Amino acid sequence: MMSEASEHKDGALRHVLVYSDRLASYDFGHGHPFKPSRARQMMELLNRYSLLDGPDKLVIVPGPIDEELLYLFHDRAYIDILRNSERGEFTMKMLEAGLGTEDCPVFPGLWDFCLHAAGGTHRGAMMIAEDAGPRVVFNPVGGFHHAGAGHAEGFCYINDLAVAIEWLTGRGRRVAYIDIDVHFGNGIRDAFAGRSDVLCVSIHESGMSIYPWSGFVEDIGEGEGRGYTVNIPIMEASDDEVYLYAFESVVPPILQAFRPDIVVAVIGADTHREDLLGHLNLTSIGYERTVRTINALSPRLLLTGGGGYNMYKTASLWTLAWAAVCGLEPVDAYAGLIGGMMYGPESQSGTLRDQPYLVSGNTKDRCFEYARDMVASIKKNVFPIHGIG
Ligand SMILES: [Zn+2]
């Protein structure tokens, strides 16, 4: 695996952030938990912490994806329904395709939002596939891992990840997908479960306690793809220690065995203990260390935001993630001077990182026991397929 040092050329562009105010301004409607404006908060933090300075970094504004590229993954009939959904007439076909539901509302600008969000991830895939391209591209308004080929679900309409992975594999790139969003990426699972040329690893809250109620450890892919879908469910209430144990027992060995050219990752921040939808107990400590491990395992890395429903925490965790992939250490002392005007409670401002928080007692024991069972199952059923002893 190529080391960071050997790849580095002075003055070369290495880190690209995909961002547009237009994309961050879309609104899924009052009360909907998915808020694209998290990306704007992250931008403010990145500027406050001076994490966008230097010739190795570039911010690009995404354009719309070429509609034809959507058909690398999506059904034409579904795209027709999605494109027409904004016309104001509500049809049965829309409902059957998951559109106009509480989770996937039809809002003004939906089609434009979808094209630009997928456009950002696709632009990232194109850049990262170039020999002289950047090592990392991050599209915070990307990572719609629940969308199916013919339907919307779980706040996801277009599966930008599946489109990008299809595009990259079509160019002969070996792609590993790593998903650390609290929700299982069922859309990606369904897209690639039968293939051995794409490794899909997901660590998520167990489907026993959260949507999409799937992604169990026994699901290791099918047919030729057996062993190339790797699910690491984590019991609700698990903390950094349990999470890091499971992640670090499985992901590094399997990535090293698979030897991808490119890693496509979803770094949803909804594993955080203050998230509004997830039930895990991660802090910035576990999250940051996980992202640093992913970064170290990735010759090239296409990052997408995914979920995260505590606005300030999500913006903070993504800021830490960006710093991690750029090899930077954000320093809180300077940022604190500006104060907490923009982010609500004063206690939340002025620091990106959390104090340690660990679960104890019976709950901790049960979480650890569950994690050990999951790791043992993967070692028994998946590792041998990859020749890992
Ligand atoms: Zn999620």
Query: Which structural domain range is residue 371 located in?
Result: 10-386
Q: Which of 160, 210, 215 shows the shortest CA–CA distance to 186?
A: 215
Which residues fall within 8 angstroms of residue 85, CB to CB, at 6 or more apart? 94, 99, 100, 106, 110, 111
Count the Cβ atoms, other than its own, within 10 Å of residue 321.
27
CA of 34 to the centre of ligand 1 (A): 10
Cβ < 5 A residues, ion ligand 1: 181, 183, 268, 270, 307
What is the model's pLDDT at position 10?
62
**pLDDT tens profile 34-77:** 999 999 999 999 999 999 999 999 999 999 999 999 999 999 99
Q: Which of 282, 318, 319, 321 shows the shortest CA–CA distance to 298?
A: 321
What is the model's pLDDT at position 186?
98
CA of 163 to the centre of ligand 1 (A): 19
What is the model's pLDDT at position 9?
52
pLDDT grade, residue 88 (50/70/90)?
Answer: confident
204 catalytic per annotation: no
How many domains does the structure of the chain reveal?
A: 1
pLDDT grade, residue 157 (50/70/90)?
Answer: very high
Is 2 among the domain residues?
A: no
Count the Cβ atoms, other than its own, within 10 Å of residue 385.
16
CA of 352 to the centre of ligand 1 (A): 21
Is 278 among the domain residues?
A: yes
What is the model's pLDDT at position 215?
98
Among the listed residues 146, 151, 204, 279, the single catalytic one is 146
pLDDT grade, residue 333 (50/70/90)?
Answer: low
Is 122 among the domain residues?
A: yes
Is 203 among the domain residues?
A: yes
CA of 307 to the centre of ligand 1 (A): 4
Structure tokens, 152: 């919307």
Arithmetic mean of pLDDT over the chain: 93
Give yes or no for residue 117 having a pLDDT over 80. yes
CA of 270 to the centre of ligand 1 (A): 6
In contact, 299 and 261? CB cutoff 8 Å? yes
pLDDT grade, residue 89 (50/70/90)?
Answer: confident
Is 187 among the domain residues?
A: yes
Specify the CATH number for the domain of residue 343: 3.40.800.20
Provide the b/e sequence for 198-229 (b: ≥16 CB within 10 Å).
bbbbbbbbbbeebbbeebebebbbeeebebbb
**pLDDT tens profile 92-106:** 999 999 999 999 999
CA of 306 to the centre of ligand 1 (A): 6
Is 4 among the domain residues?
A: no
CA of 215 to the centre of ligand 1 (A): 13
CA of 181 to the centre of ligand 1 (A): 5
CA of 189 to the centre of ligand 1 (A): 15
CA of 353 to the centre of ligand 1 (A): 21
For the segment 339-368, the average pLDDT, to the nearest whole number, is 78
Which residues fall within 8 angstroms of residue 172, CB to CB, at 6 or more apart? none
pTM: 0.94
CA of 387 to the centre of ligand 1 (A): 32
What is the model's pLDDT at position 90?
81
How far apart are alpha carbons 232 and 306 in whole angstroms? Answer: 18
